[in-house]
A and B are shown apart, each in its own frame.
Chain A
Amino acid sequence: MNDISFHPDRAKADSAHIGRPALRVEDAALLSGRANYADDQGVKPGTVYAAILRSPHAHAEIASIDSAAALKMPGVRAVLTGADVKSWATPFAVGVRQPMEHWCMAIERVRYVGEPVAVVMAESRYLAEDALDAIKVEYRTLSAVVDPEAAAEASAPVLHEAVGSNVVNDRHFRYGDPEAAFAAAAHTVRLKVHYPRNSCTPIECFVVVAEHLPGDDGYDVFSNFQGPFALHPVMARALKVTGARLRLRSPRDSGGSFGVKQGVSTYIVLLCLASRKAGAPVKWVEDRLEHLQASVSATNRVTTLEAAVQPDGEILALRYDQIDDCGAYLRAPEPATFYRMHGSLTGAYKVRNLEVHNRVVLTNKTPSGLVRGFGGPQVYFALERLIQHIAVELRLDPLAVIERNLIEADTFPYRAPAGALLDSGDYQQAIAMAREQGGLAELLARRDQARAEGRLYGIGYAAIVEPSISNMGYITTALTAEERARAGPKNGASASATVSVDALGSVSVVIDSVPQGQGHRTVTAQVVADALGLNPPDIVVNAELDTQKDAWSIAAGNYSSRFAGAVAGTVHLAAVKVRDKLAVIAADMLGCSPKQIAFAKGKIFSLERPEEKLPFHRVAGATHWSPGMLPRGMTTGLRETVFWSPPQLVAPDENDVINSSGVYGFVFDICALEVDRATGKVRIDRYVSAHDAGRILNPALADGQIRGAFAQGLGAALMEEFVYGSDGSFLSGTFADYLVPTTCEVPELQILHMETPSPFTPLGSKGLGEGNNMSTPVCIGNALADALGKSDIVLPMTPSKIHALMALADPPPRKPRTGAPAQLPAGGHGLNMAGAVDLAASPEQVFAVLLDPDALSRVIPGCHALTRTGENRYRADVTIGIGLVKARYAAEVSLSELDPPNSLSLGGSGISAFGSASGAGKVRLEPAGSGTRLHYDYSVAVSGKVAAVGGRMLEGAAKIILRQLFEQLGRQAAGGEAAGAASTSLSWWRKLTNALKDAK
């Protein structure tokens, strides 16, 4: 409903509270330890606790699941498996037309490490975790594909066989006349970039309390799901219930989300089914390992971007070739990472010709989803790196290239070629402000001086358009116009707010923004206080959403920086509706026209006779205490709900022109930094961030948003990455592996504001919570490119990567090393190891040991039992570990390619509570004096828990175990040590276990 008139100028003139740095009303509870987070909520008696068994494999068929032993364990109530899921639920709806099924749990096949395979419900989380190890799952492993470009190849292992390819969506777009522009331009400048997998890691992980209600009543869920509530219908359909029978409730406080808690949605469905299985309410709290490996990741992207450029830097056309890696399943709202930014792919620039090729690719990784900045970091890392690269290639100043192409201030609202209707701005003025107040001239002088001294100093820029208030229809741009026509148009971005006044005249407000720590209750109170002539402490704001009781629509939730523009604006409209009703009542009481009624300082009065004041509560109370006295025709009560959607948000047209967001702010950043030549470490000398987000509602909260986004952008630039091995193993399972900047690493930044109010939102405001997530990674990247004189900037730019870019010599030792392990390619995560061991036995003796099961069992480290299962094939029960860490593996050992006594292949693979491990390689025996030199060349793959949390030590541990294996082989083969060998083996184990003794 868009028929409500609003007057930004009038609202501004009235404001006593909007625009002020009001203290957060949320903080009293947070700072006194009395917050009400999802995990703090009490649960019903009889609630059971869930733990989730997850796949250690990136890609495998599930041959069998045996939970009989787990069900016999103390306190275990039930185990949910794929079979239950299949009978009670349906796959999630997917945003593209493809025959691929995404369920809330693995069905018959796992496609990423960490994918849920079974859920145990027990009387405590401890008991539930105990039972996880007792569930026996047999997997048949399949080849995994991790790299998105490789996944797009025809020869790649296919994740979803019914699709027949990993490319699940492939679209071409063309706006203007890009071919002519490229033909006409003096230069074509091209850059290929990769944006990594990363996230924004909230302190609080996912929480779900789900209850299957008796009979056909559906499900009641309390969770920290943050929206978008377009996923509510997706969840309800997966559960096969009507929307009204899936009640979602959210807690008052949040330990952060940054978009990531969109991913709670799949677990809501899973835990609803778990409750159904257990016949009791089920609570699940995600732990950090689960969160890092299997919640949500930002979409990694490979972009090849070309610009048609004139000699003065004018860009005539852009050509994007983008591959988005959405992980193992296309989880709603993907492929939105592409389409959120689609209308504004030309950024802050007046480029009129645009060509886009978008491919969505699936790989054996965690499904991607909302992460603060959603889509923006990926686009701007390509676009703004290209701008810098154009400057380098054409020997221009990068800032001159930016300024040459900026959209002119007098052309707003400006329709970008792909459809974004940029509402307002003055980009030139914002850049001038940053240049002057940020001291750019001084920074350029510092760079000159540093370079004269041989230091590595660089300056980078980023000019970005920051979209907010997502168009619910943008996702359908992934479909062709014909497919869209069949599905029916989707568009808009409905926000809702309810303002109520009770019998004592106190005001309460309900909003649909599901805040995640931003301070929405504070700002809402400021907005309503201004509209009603009250003070913010007079206003009580409830931001807990209950889908059965509150006003909401599919666009509800905490994403796309929709609060300031859409929600606060809708709050204003609802408060104005209350005000208008009160004005009619007060005019009746005062005998004047409602148009003359004013509200201030808790009083209502006529502008003509301001001395005659009515207390606010008196007028409001009349709607409750004396409805019979209300003006004729007026309804009783005082509660107004407003739904608002920006009329500019229409569905994509037949030419794929889409206004993907409601409003568009502007950010311009300057980063000056120095790289230490010796260590490759980066020191940010100064960071300036200039913002125009329209009208600022609370400058303190606005700056807080910018600081937080900057810290996350810095993390993305320099340290954060979800790393996968080439086999799909996940290697970043702790905060010692996935590095998030702390206060020690985040420099002070200089924040600048200007306000160009939006004509499209009720209060003239735009979102600003994601700008630095979009601008900072590339701004730092550009500064590094400038400092190092290199174009191949691959995030995160860790000191090791910077070192590699510096291409310094790695002088060999004076004496070549003998028997030294082969050096691995730089940055390789695969565990390939080669080496040599000298054994005091002849090759024949060594070979004899390998062929003798009894002797072999004494050679394999930690072997409890060895059973022959075929020719040169054995089943082994082994305990393997280093120091504190040990696990018992059920392993298969095999010998092949036997060429006695020269060489053979010796392989093993096993599974334990730590995950899976396998090693395969060639062993070559060479006579050396009276003994043998054993050469080995092994590839070792470790996946699951131990890979996720032990990455730092994996290679070392694998080397130790291999070396122990071969040294023991030598001792055994040397003969006469048969008894001694066994005791040596024992002492090896003793040594390990002894290491546990004093570990603290």
Chain B
Amino acid sequence: MKPAAFDYIRADSAEETVALLRQYGDDAKILAGGQSLMAMLNIRLAQPKILVDISRCEQLNYARIDHGKLVIGAAATQASIEWRANLAQEVPLLKLAIPWISHFQVRNHGTVCGSVAHADPSAELPLCLTALQGEVVLRSHAGRRVLKADDFFQGMLTTAIRQGEIIEEVRFPLQDKNARYAFEEVSIRHGDFALVAVAAVVTPDSIDLTIGGVSDRARRLTLPKITGSDLDDAINDFAWELDAQSDTHATAQYRRHLVRELGRKLINGLMQ
């Protein structure tokens, strides 16, 4: 369990990072927190020739409020966001969801943008970004482009990132004062990949339900303000649309059950 040989370059700025990506093309991969990549390197599932380490790039290590959004730079760790003094007021869903990410040791290293780039179907941060309809800022030597979460995530471990691009930052909309937020997930042990993860956002006239761990990416359902059996039926239809898969830990049927149970529980809790 030793990685194949690679060259390691520490980038100290975003400019240097995109220049390196331009220079090395497909051979280069970004290393930020390393919480997924290092394991894949060691087991040789990924064998990049060059690692560009941005974890100590101070220029990309930021989180700030800007134009109604919490903007998180590529080198900011999950822990640094978790412990923001006002996170519960800024982006309540993140406050609820981040503690579900593995264990604190992982959050101390893992980055917010890294998790978004990895696009694991069970991961909490892509789910939150999808639920809140946040944005991803992609930067290359040619400039920047901004994608909505729905356009960014394309499937299991698959995103709209093009060759030469890095996620420079992600943007989470700040709390909507009229909305209420809830998050919960089920895994066998605390910190495991979610069997099902659910975020709910309820406003005076709509219900948003976003599910992770079931489909190839987090999927969002927007409903009018309905209740009772109408709501149950809508959630059940959604549970089927997610096309749940079975693996060694959970059957598709159990995942559908959890979507129904958690979806109903979270939404009803928010509507009370």
Contact = CB atoms under 8 A, between A and B. Distances in A.
Interface of A: 125-126, 129-130, 287-290, 678-681, 718-719, 721, 723, 731-732, 734, 736-737, 739, 741-742, 744-745, 798-800, 803-804, 808, 810-815, 817, 820-821, 823-824, 826-829, 882-886, 913-914, 945-946, 949-957, 959-960, 990-1000
6 contacts: A678-B265, A736-B193, A800-B250, A883-B156, A885-B157, A1000-B32
B157 A799 contact: no
A125 B247 contact: no
B43 A991 contact: no
Nearest to B30: A998
B5 A126 contact: yes
A820 B117 contact: no
A949 B161 contact: no
Contact of B189 (A734, A741, A811, A956): A741
Given A823-B252, A882-B158, A994 B163 contact: yes
Interface in B157-192: 157-159, 161-167, 186, 188-192
A824 B193 CA distance: 22
Nearest to B246: A824
Given A736-B192, A804-B253, A914-B45, 6 more contacts: A679-B186, A808-B257, A814-B236, A823-B252, A883-B118, A960-B216
A956 B121 CA distance: 10
B165 A800 contact: no
B34 A1000 contact: yes
Interface string B106-140: 00001101110111011000000000000000000
B203 interface: no
Interface residues of B, number: 79
Interface stretch (B63-71, B143-151, B220-228, B237-245): B237-245
A744 to B, nearest CB: 4
A1000 B111 contact: yes
Contacts of B161: 994-995, 997-998
Contacts of A950: 45
A821 B113 CA distance: 33
For the complex of A and B, list the 7 residue pairs with the smallest distance between their C-beta atoms, beginning with the closest: A883-B157, A1000-B114, A1000-B32, A287-B1, A998-B117, A800-B250, A800-B254
A1000 B254 contact: no
B26 interface: yes
Nearest to B34: A1000
A804 B37 CA distance: 35
A994 B165 contact: yes
Nearest to B136: A998
Given A679-B261, A914-B45, A723 B252 contact: no
B186 A999 contact: no
A995 B157 contact: yes
Contacts of B154: 991
Given A739-B189, A951-B247, A1000-B117, A913 B44 contact: yes
Nearest to A810: B253
Contacts of A737: 248
A286 B46 CA distance: 21
Nearest to B255: A800
Given A737-B248, A956-B216, A1000 B190 contact: no
Contacts of B36: 884, 999-1000
Contacts of B14: none
Nearest to A996: B29
B48 interface: yes
Nearest to A742: B189
B256 A810 contact: yes
B269 interface: no
A778 to B, nearest CB: 20
A289 B40 CA distance: 12
A959 B247 CA distance: 13
Given A679-B261, A804-B254, A885 B166 contact: no
A799 B186 contact: yes
A736 B247 CA distance: 13
B26 to A, nearest CB: 5
Contacts of B32: 1000
Contacts of B59: none
Nearest to B75: A1000
B254 A945 contact: no
A525 B223 CA distance: 71
B258 interface: yes
A954 B36 CA distance: 17
Contacts of A126: 2-3, 5
B165 A999 contact: no
Nearest to B240: A813
Nearest to A719: B188
Given A723-B248, A741-B189, A826-B246, A995 B158 contact: yes
A421 to B, nearest CB: 42
Contact of A799 (B48, B252, B254, B262): B254
